[in-house]
Structure 1
Amino acid sequence: MGTSALLKAAGIGLGDEVIVPAYGNVEIAEAVVSVGGLPVFADIDPGTYCLESEAVTAAIGPCTAAIVAVRRFGGAAGLRRVHEVGSDKGLLVLVEDDETAPVPAGEIMQRQAQAAYLSARLRGVDAPVHNEGHTYGQYVVRVPGNGRPDRDAFARAVRAKGVRCSVPVKTPVHRLPEYRRDVELPETERAADETLALHIGGGLGRRDLQRMVSACNALGGLLVPAF
């Protein structure tokens, strides 16, 4: 059952506010609007990219009826606390997955092994924060430096060396014209400017991983933060 159907079945409707993340796909906000609700955006934890419990607490108001959290990139650290915050307030709490289809256990184990290899060797980027049960639907790193310009330049450079990568979230939902909100979400915006997904899984072998490490580490020293 989709998010909109779950919200509707729970009686969420016209005038109800639903707390959602802005870092991610627009489908969650669309689901809230489709039942007549109003999406309210809360900030994320910078290590997990999931909703942050204190930010959720601050976003709760008299019209809040539900929270929709998302397991981001295969990780869900901190969402138990978000669930507790919502339950304590008597709110509906849904936890969605950003992977659209079930992933075989063998694929997850392969991703986890590749992620462990990369995280132990990468020096030119900030590796993702590991947490128990992380499935690494995407291996998302942060490119240190001056935000989006350096991240985009870094992406072009590693692609030129044969490394597949993509920007996981190009524009936070609260900055899209149809959902624009005057809200402060510093961690969301920083993540959108700095994150890059290095493609793992599939048929990648040790040589592919070594190329990825070499490309990233060679570029890392070129990125100097602005003062």
Structure 2
Amino acid sequence: MRIPIARPALGEEELKAIRRVLESGILAHGPEVEEFEREFAEYVGVDYAVAVANGTAALDLVLKAYGIRPGDEVVTTPFTFIATANAVLYQGAKPVFADIDPKTYNIDPNSVLEAITPRTKAVIAVDLFGQPADMRALREIAEDRRLALIEDAAQAHGAEFEGRKAGSLGDAAIFSFYATKNMTTGEGGMVVTNDRRVAERVKLLRDHGQAEKYLHVELGYNLRMTSLQAAIGRVQLRKLDRLNEARRANARFLTEGLSKVQGITPPYEDPRCKHVYHQYVVRVEDEFPLRRDELKAFLESRGVGAAVHYPIPVHRQPLYRKLGYPQDICPNAIEASGRVLSLPVHPLLSRSDLEYVVECVREAAQRGGR
């Protein structure tokens, strides 16, 4: 048996959408992108959505739209994919790392407060693994300090915090539509906001700084989304709630099956949130007879895809070591990086797949204890 850690849920509807675009002959600058933007903004509950080439481009452009520049600081988490912090470096600004809540793995508002200096201009909160950060507390901090609050919802399509969709919780937000995300266009990203000026600036920057055809008013980039990507995205958006419910049901099954395995801590769900389980992340405690990497190897030997998100906190990456970041900051992030393990939770899993995953973890617990 082979159970992959992730698999995109694509089918005949996406093929039909691709065929429709190909037959139209409009592969770029077409109505598909505008419709996708309109539909996505409506789904999230914001006024504007701007489609771009990928999630990293979305982060880069939204920081540019907020005027982040050399000498500025942006507070974010070290326990995420490196693109979040790198987007700050693209501006010539400095990422400042705040520690995480050890239960949710999201950025800790109290640590954010400690990280703010007179040079701080923004906070980037990542909705990690499909669960929103504590956006109520972060919003209060941002408003009190007059900081931009940017939500990195790259892993949280359709998630909710206090009844509001991820992406609508900050001043602006970004999404990624990479192949493994809860909805995908292969590659692709989106900036969402209620601020018209931010949306207009992102639109300008994504298309060579072009205010109108062949009139370029500033240095821009080629970071547009194609019509083919947008067509796939429109289909995926219509499926998103159903796919997320499948993920949530799979997560409930896994939690029920693993909650009695000594040394395995299932994911924590903040009661204020709707967790959409981009990843199902367990914590391997000292009581478990195998170390995290040993459990990962055991599962893979049994055909169960497992992954570590993330094995090295950003501030400990070689790039950031070279930049002089202290290696002993953010102890909760360091601790989590040595213990977390992602198990398959994607919506294409069968009941027998899920039973097998649980069975393999239980087998590891028994074998390791001998």
User: What TM-score do the two structures reach when normalised by structure 2?
Assistant: 0.57
Report 1:144-223 matches (<5 A). Answer: 144-145=285-286, 150-180=291-321, 181-182=325-326, 183-220=328-365
Q: Distance in 1 between matches of 2:355 and 2:265?
A: 17
Q: Distance in 1 between matches of 2:133 and 2:66?
A: 26
Other-structure match for 1:126: 265
Q: Distance in 2 between matches of 1:136 and 1:43?
A: 22
Question: How many percent identity over aligned positions?
Answer: 33
Q: Secondary structure at the match of 1:203?
A: coil
- Aligned-residue CA RMSD in angstroms? 1.9
Other-structure match for 1:5: 61
Report 1:105-120 matches (<5 A). Answer: 105-120=241-256
Report 1:31-70 matches (<5 A). Answer: 31-70=87-126
Q: Secondary structure at the match of 2:150?
A: strand
Report the CA distance between 1:220 and its aligned residue: 3.0
Q: Distance in 1 between matches of 2:245 and 2:125?
A: 25
Report the CA distance between 1:86 and its aligned residue: 1.8
The runs of 5 or more residues in structure 1 that have no matched partner are: none
Letter in 2 for 1:165: A
Count the aligned residue pairs. 223
Q: Secondary structure at the match of 1:140?
A: strand
Q: Secondary structure at the match of 2:113?
A: helix
Letter in 1 for 2:112: V
Q: Secondary structure at the match of 1:73?
A: helix
Q: Is the 8 A contact 2:126 2:133 kept in 1?
A: no
Other-structure match for 2:150: 94
Does structure 1 residue 30 correspond to structure 2 residue 175? Answer: no
Larger radius of gyration: 2
Report the CA distance between 1:73 and its aligned residue: 0.6
Choose from 47, 70, 74 the match for 1:18.
74
User: What TM-score do the two structures reach when normalised by structure 1?
Assistant: 0.91
Q: Is the 8 A contact 1:51 1:79 kept in 2?
A: no
Q: Is the 8 A contact 2:250 2:354 kept in 1?
A: yes
Alpha-carbon spacing, 1:85–1:120, altered in 2? closer, same or farther (3 Å): same
Letter in 1 for 2:335: R
Report the CA distance between 1:146 and its aligned residue: 8.3
Report the CA distance between 1:136 and its aligned residue: 0.1
Once the two structures are superposed, residues 101-144 of structure 1 have per-residue CA deviations (whole angstroms, 9 ceiling, x without a partner) of 26311110000000011111203311000233100000011111
Alpha-carbon spacing, 1:69–1:223, altered in 2? closer, same or farther (3 Å): farther
Q: Is the 8 A contact 2:247 2:276 kept in 1?
A: yes
